Amino acid sequence: MPLDIYHYMSDLRNMNEKRVWSMLSEYIDNNDMTGICLCPICVVDIAAITLNSIPPHYQTEENLSVAAERVSDVEIYKQIKKAVAVVARRPHH
């Protein structure tokens, strides 16, 4: 196999990562986050826990609708809520 194929790896992206960050931002803006640390470490932990809870969807083109067919927004919000509870109970810092 020619090594040229590895060049395209830099174009490969998990489309659910972009969705999680966008929905996490909305979640933080639209919910009472009193008593929950929102420092960069905790926010990244929330995103990481959420991403580890849903299947990845890798592709080279940015087409979020295909990723949404596999994991719904409702499911991502559900996983964000669970991740917020985990980080609230045990912040990493």
- Provide the pairing of β-strand 58-59 with 13-14: antiparallel
- pLDDT by residue (tens digit) across 41-75? 999 999 999 999 999 988 877 666 666 678 999 99
Buried b (16+ CB within 10 A) or exposed e, 67-82: beeebeeeebbebbee
- pLDDT by residue (tens digit) across 3-45? 566 656 677 888 899 999 999 999 999 999 999 999 999 999 9
pTM for the predicted model, two decimal places: 0.83
Contacts of 34 (CB under 8 A, 6+ apart): none
Domain ranges of the chain: 3-89
Closest CA to 38 of 76, 88, 86: 88
Residue 42 near residue 85 (C-beta atoms within 8 A): no
